[in-house]
C-alpha cells in the first residue's frame, strides 16, 4: 500500500468553512480527461498552483488549494503513471476498441477508453492515476521543473511531473484529512 498526499484546486468563493465541511468536490465537465470524479494533483503542490493560475486567474489568486491523504495499491488504483501492467492492459483495450470500430485515435480521447472500461468490464478500481505529458506549457516556466539529460538535446527529466488522480467516489482510496492549505488567510479561519 502506497500513501500519498493529494491537492485539489478550487475556485475561491469566499467560503472556507463550506469547503472543509463538504469537500472534496467532484468534477463532471464534459471534457474531463478521465471521466467524472474527484480530481487531485499527486504529491506536488506546485501543480495545484499552476492549475489555479490557469483556471482561476493568478493575479487575483482566486483559487483555494486543499490537501488530503490517500492510500492505494494496484488493486484499488488503475495506475497509468507508474504501473506497467496497467499501461499494457490499457494499450490492449485501445487495440481491441479500434478492431471493433469503437475507437479512432485521431478523433477520440483517453476518457472514451476509460468510460468504456468503467461501463463494460468488471472495473473494480476506485481511481485512476495518470501523467499528463505536456499538461503544463513550456511557456509557463515558473511551474516547470525540468532538467536536460544532455546539453543541446531535447530529452529531459521532469522532477515535478503533473501526476493526476481521478477518484470515483468521495471516500475512494481511503481519502482523509481534507483541509485548506492555500490561501493563508483561510487557514486560520477554519482551524
Q: Helices H, strands E: what count in the chain?
A: 5, 9
Give the integer Cα–Cα distance in Å for 63 and 182: 8
Closest CA to 70 of 130, 132, 129: 129
Name the pLDDT band for 136 (thresholds 50, 70, 90): low
- Residue 110 scores a pLDDT above 80: yes
**Given this model, what pLDDT does residue 109 score?**
86
**Given this model, what pLDDT does residue 124 score?**
93
Name the pLDDT band for 29 (thresholds 50, 70, 90): confident
Closest CA to 67 of 84, 86, 82, 47: 47
- Residue 87 scores a pLDDT above 60: yes
- Among 12-21, 65-74, 80-89, 148-157, the least confident range: 148-157
Q: For 156-176, how does the pLDDT look when each residue is reduced to its tens digit (9 = 90+)?
A: 556 578 899 999 999 999 999
- Residue 59 scores a pLDDT above 70: no
Name the pLDDT band for 43 (thresholds 50, 70, 90): very high
Alpha helices by DSSP H, the chain: 16-22, 45-56, 84-99, 110-120, 184-190
- Residue 179 scores a pLDDT above 80: yes
Amino acid at each position: 500500500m502506497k500513501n500519498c498526499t493529494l491537492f485539489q484546486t478550487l475556485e475561491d468563493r469566499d467560503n472556507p468553512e463550506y469547503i472543509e465541511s463538504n469537500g472534496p468536490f467532484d468534477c463532471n465537465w464534459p471534457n474531463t480527461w478521465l471521466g467524472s470524479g474527484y480530481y487531485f494533483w499527486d504529491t506536488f503542490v506546485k501543480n495545484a498552483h499552476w492549475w489555479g493560475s490557469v483556471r482561476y486567474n493568478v493575479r487575483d489568486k482566486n483559487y483555494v488549494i486543499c490537501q488530503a491523504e490517500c492510500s492505494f495499491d494496484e488493486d484499488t488504483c488503475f495506475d497509468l503513471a507508474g504501473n506497467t501492467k496497467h499501461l499494457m492492459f490499457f494499450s490492449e483495450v485501445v487495440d481491441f476498441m479500434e478492431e471493433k470500430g469503437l475507437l479512432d485515435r485521431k478523433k477520440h480521447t483517453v476518457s472514451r477508453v476509460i468510460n468504456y472500461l468503467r461501463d463494460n468490464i468488471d472495473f473494480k478500481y476506485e481511481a485512476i492515476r495518470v501523467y499528463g505529458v505536456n499538461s503544463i506549457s513550456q511557456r509557463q516556466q515558473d511551474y516547470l521543473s525540468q532538467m536536460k539529460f544532455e546539453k543541446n538535446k531535447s530529452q529531459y527529466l521532469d522532477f515535478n511531473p503533473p501526476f493526476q488522480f481521478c477518484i470515483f467516489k468521495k471516500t475512494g482510496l481511503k481519502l482523509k484529512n481534507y483541509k485548506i492549505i492555500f490561501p493563508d488567510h483561510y487557514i486560520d479561519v477554519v482551524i
